[in-house]
């Protein structure tokens, strides 16, 4: 009995010690495309460091279960266990959110502000830094990435899960899509 | 100060007055846990150097690299078509210097695995506790009769190492007349960048379509019978440029006499076993092997070409404390034909495994469980790209290819019986992601 308990304790101890180390190793494979600490420098790739744990987890799980379309990520996450996905979500949610405010013309910014107050502000907030619980921060997120995401929601051939997001994205005027993306991309706070 | 200079400096001072100098040397030694020398400053070497410093600043890291500026091979086919400025692929080593990596621009001439020293052309010597070799590849020009290194630099560029030859090939393509033939000769695999020759064919065709050369021909003479992402390439070639009989792009497989054996550089004619093909631009990619610094050390134990390494650490199976990463090594699940692809992303993944392993070793911690990933995009038109991803884990000391986390972009949607075309947005997204990937890997490795 005692032997068993000791073995269990040992297993638990070593198991968790290795897990703590290995999640760093696993997370480093994400850096190639999402940057060190999840701060991307590629305009089509999102920053992921500091995004809510639930959001990161649900998006990865949706890809794994083919509930959300993707060009690349759905193939990548299918190789990860649910525990690894959970651990990655925790890991990146604990990083600091680093907005990368991008410059934008005054005219586009104004157009974007109109577009977001009509379509996005309710859930994502005025600057994108204080969104609803299930939504990601998007202040200083890459405009190019956000534009591509909106295109996914608007495309009939692309499977996206969030009904409200889909409905709103589809009713936006075409010119409002880049305007809204650039507006949030320009926000520092 | 370089290692040898410092040693010489200390020695000279020690001869003059002993005690105080020894104290300085000891204080110095106490702060540094270990010395790592990295040879080769491509994606693999740069990543190894950076992550060693990132994970443990008490490790002394020296990176030895010939060139002052690195040019990315990934996406360099877009330079050949004229779609991308070569500058967007170039990066220096200041980012690594800022992280405390000692960057030395020199050529390694000799490695002594017993004394654990590295010698360079300018006569410097560097001692190491661990040596990371990321030398890339060297070309075997002699494998194609009539081809020489000098010809590659002046008239028959392989452009399989991005840089001046990429620009030379771009120039030759720009000058090619309508109705001209662009020949790409592919060596027997495994070679650097498995989908590269076929992406190049598409980029050449793209250039021709947009520059009034619709009668041009791109002829791929291949030593192999299949290739990476074949179904995706053939689908795109067909839809965009015409493929096969009467199309712009034609592929001749190895068993169809595609292997180029000889070249006549004067008449720009390629000779295969039985046939001859005259071109206007000839792009012969010579067979290659692990960079000579690794090969000369006897590390290329696989078919006398590639360096075998241990799955858990990337340490050479031949020499202790020498780690070989990037295109020079061979790994993965070879028995099922799922070896490591020779790609930048793969090299970086291997570099991170080495860094984590060495940091654990120098801190007397257990080695972490390694994981190896690859992502590789191919861009075949302004709005058409696709990719392949790979995932490998190590189980019972062996690499295991994880099928569930690997594979190419979908060729079709729908079912096998009733296939449907993949919506174009998917192809467009992967062109955008290719660019995002490039910017991020450049930063992850060099910044």
Q: In this structure, are residues B157 and B169 in contact, taking their beta carbons and an 8 Å threshold?
A: yes
Residue B434 C-alpha, separation from nearest chain A C-alpha, in angstroms = 9
Sorted by where each starts, the structural domains of chain B and their CATH numbers stand as: 32-138+289-367 (3.50.50.60), 145-286 (3.50.50.60)
Question: Edge-to-edge strand order for the sheet containing B262-264?
Answer: B262-264, B269-271, B276-278
Consecutive 10-residue averages of pLDDT for chain B (447 residues):
42 40 44 96 98 97 98 98 97 98 98 98 98 98 98 98 98 98 97 98 98 98 98 98 96 98 98 97 98 98 98 98 98 96 98 98 95 98 98 96 97 95 97 98 98
- Residues in chain A with CB shorter than 8 Å from the CB of B367 are none
Residue B410 C-alpha, separation from nearest chain A C-alpha, in angstroms = 9
Smallest Cβ–Cβ distance between B402 and the set A42, A79, A151 belongs to A79
- Give the pLDDT score at A134: 81
Query: For residue B128, what are the β-bridge partners?
Result: none
Residue B10 C-alpha, separation from nearest chain A C-alpha, in angstroms = 38
Peptide bond into B354 cis (omega under 30): no
CB-based contact, B425 to chain A, within 8 Å: yes
- Give the pLDDT score at B5: 45
Residues 117-156 of A with CB under 8 A from B: 144-145, 148, 151-152, 155-156
Distance (Å, whole) CA A105 – CA A116? 16
Q: What is the mean pLDDT of chain A?
A: 91
Count of CB atoms within 10 A of residue B417's CB? Answer: 5
Distance (Å, whole) CA B124 – CA B371? 36
Residue B160 C-alpha, separation from nearest chain A C-alpha, in angstroms = 23
Flag if B433 and A28 touch (Cβ within 8 Å).
no
- Give the pLDDT score at A19: 57
Residues 42-81 of B with CB under 8 A from A: 51, 54
C-alpha dist (Å) from residue B341 to A50, B258, B325 = 32, 23, 12
Distance (Å, whole) CA A100 – CA A186? 8
Query: Residue B51: closest CA among chain A residues belongs to which residue?
Result: A28
Percent of chain A with pLDDT over 70: 89
- Give the pLDDT score at A22: 86
Sorted by where each starts, the structural domains of chain A and their CATH numbers stand as: 48-98 (1.10.760.10), 106-185 (1.10.760.10)
CB-based contact, A13 to chain B, within 8 Å: no
For residue A2, pLDDT beyond 70: no
Pairing of strands B269-271, B276-278: antiparallel
- Give the pLDDT score at A112: 98
For residue A15, pLDDT beyond 80: no
Q: Which residue has the tokens 């525990």?
A: A83
* Cβ-proximal residues to B19 (8 Å cutoff; 6+ apart), any chain: none
C-alpha dist (Å) from residue B443 to A65, A94, B390 = 31, 22, 21
Smallest Cβ–Cβ distance between B433 and the set A28, A35, A45 belongs to A45
Residue in B41, B131, B48, B102 with CA at minimum distance from that of residue B356? B48
Flag if B371 and A34 touch (Cβ within 8 Å).
no
Name which of A24, A38, A44 to mutate to probe chain B: the one with the most chain B Cβ atoms within 10 A of its Cβ.
Answer: A44
CB-based contact, A63 to chain B, within 8 Å: no
CB-based contact, A22 to chain B, within 8 Å: yes
Residue in B370, B376, B441, B438 with CA at minimum distance from that of residue B406? B376
Query: Residue A70: closest CA among chain B residues belongs to which residue?
Result: B426
User: Which stretches does DSSP call E strand in chain A?
Assistant: none
Residue in B117, B65, B125, B126 with CA at minimum distance from that of residue B96? B65
DSSP code per residue over B362-399: HTT-PPPPPEEEEEEEEEEETTEEEEEEEEEEEETTEE
Q: Output the pTM of the full model.
A: 0.92
* Cβ-proximal residues to A178 (8 Å cutoff; 6+ apart), any chain: A108, A143, A147
Distance (Å, whole) CA B335 – CA B404? 18
Q: Which residue has the tokens 């990548």?
A: A76
Residue A76 C-alpha, separation from nearest chain B C-alpha, in angstroms = 5
Residue A21 C-alpha, separation from nearest chain B C-alpha, in angstroms = 6
Flag if A40 and B438 touch (Cβ within 8 Å).
no
- Give the pLDDT score at B2: 45
- Give the pLDDT score at B300: 98
User: Which stretches does DSSP call E strand in B200-347?
Assistant: 217-222, 249-252, 262-264, 269-271, 276-278, 281-284, 288-290, 307-308, 322-324, 329-330, 332-333, 338-339
Instruction: Indicate the pLDDT class of residue A133, thresholds 50, 70 and 90.
Output: confident
CB-based contact, B91 to chain A, within 8 Å: no
* Cβ-proximal residues to A109 (8 Å cutoff; 6+ apart), any chain: A182, A183, A186
Flag if A79 and B440 touch (Cβ within 8 Å).
no
- Give the pLDDT score at B7: 42
């Amino acid at each position: 009995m005692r032997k068993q308990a000791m073995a269990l304790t040992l297993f638990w101890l070593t198991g968790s010690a290795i897990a703590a180390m290995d999640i760093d190793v696993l997370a480093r494979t994400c850096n190639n495309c999402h940057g060190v600490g999840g701060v991307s420098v590629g305009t089509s790739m999102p920053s992921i460091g500091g995004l809510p744990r639930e959001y990161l987890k649900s998006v990865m799980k949706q890809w794994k279960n083919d509930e959300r379309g993707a060009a690349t990520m759905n193939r990548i996450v299918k190789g990860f266990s649910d525990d690894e996905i959970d651990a990655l979500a925790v890991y990146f949610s604990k990083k600091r959110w680093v907005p990368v405010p991008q410059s934008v013309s005054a005219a586009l910014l104004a157009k974007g502000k109109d577009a977001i107050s009509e379509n996005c502000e309710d859930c994502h907030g005025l600057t994108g830094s204080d969104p609803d619980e299930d939504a990601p921060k998007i202040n200083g997120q890459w405009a190019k990435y956000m534009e591509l995401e909106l295109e996914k929601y608007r495309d009939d051939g692309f499977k996206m899960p969030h009904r409200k997001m889909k409905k709103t994205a589809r009713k936006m005027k075409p010119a409002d899509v880049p305007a809204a993306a650039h507006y949030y991309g320009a926000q520092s706070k | 100060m370089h290692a040898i200079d410092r040693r010489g400096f200390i020695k000279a001072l020690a001869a003059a007055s002993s005690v105080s100098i020894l104290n300085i040397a000891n204080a110095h030694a106490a702060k540094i846990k270990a010395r790592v020398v990295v040879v080769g400053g491509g994606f693999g070497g740069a990543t190894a150097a950076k992550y060693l410093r990132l994970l443990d600043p008490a490790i002394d890291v020296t990176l030895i690299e010939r060139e002052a500026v690195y040019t990315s091979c990934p996406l360099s086919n877009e330079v050949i078509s004229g779609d991308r400025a070569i500058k967007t692929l170039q990066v220096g080593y200041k980012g690594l210097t800022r992280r405390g990596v000692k960057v030395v621009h020199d050529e390694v001439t000799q490695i002594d695995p017993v004394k654990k020293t590295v010698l360079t052309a300018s006569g410097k010597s560097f001692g190491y506790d661990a040596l990371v070799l990321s030398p890339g590849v060297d070309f075997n020009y002699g494998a194609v009769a009539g081809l020489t290194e000098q010809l590659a630099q002046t008239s028959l560029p392989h452009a399989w190492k991005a840089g001046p030859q990429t620009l030379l090939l771009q120039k030759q393509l720009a000058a090619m007349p309508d109705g001209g033939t662009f020949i790409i000769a592919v060596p027997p695999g495994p070679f650097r960048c498995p989908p590269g020759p076929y992406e190049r064919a598409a980029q050449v065709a793209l250039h021709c379509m947009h520059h009034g050369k619709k009668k041009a021909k791109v002829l791929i003479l291949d030593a192999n019978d299949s290739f990476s992402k074949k179904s995706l390439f053939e689908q795109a070639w067909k839809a965009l440029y015409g493929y096969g009989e009467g199309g712009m792009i034609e592929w001749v497989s190895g068993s169809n006499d595609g292997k180029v054996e000889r070249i006549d550089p004067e008449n720009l004619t390629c000779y295969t076993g039985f046939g001859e093909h005259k071109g206007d631009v000839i792009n012969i990619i010579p067979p290659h092997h692990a960079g000579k610094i690794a090969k000369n050390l006897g590390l290329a134990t696989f078919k006398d070409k590639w360096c075998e390494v241990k799955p858990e650490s990337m340490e050479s199976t031949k020499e202790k404390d020498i780690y070989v990463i990037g295109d020079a090594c061979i790994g993965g699940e070879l028995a099922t034909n799922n070896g490591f692809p020779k790609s930048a992303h793969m090299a970086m993944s291997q570099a991170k495994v080495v860094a984590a392993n060495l940091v654990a070793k120098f801190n007397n911690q257990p080695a972490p469980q390694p994981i190896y990933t690859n992502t590789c995009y191919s861009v075949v038109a302004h709005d058409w790209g696709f990719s392949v991803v790979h995932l490998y884990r190590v189980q019972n000391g062996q690499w295991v290819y994880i099928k569930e986390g690997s594979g190419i972009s979908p060729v079709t949607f729908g079912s096998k019986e009733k296939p449907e075309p993949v919506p174009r947005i998917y192809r467009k997204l992967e062109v955008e992601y290719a660019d995002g990937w490039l910017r991020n890997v450049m930063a992850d490795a060099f910044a």
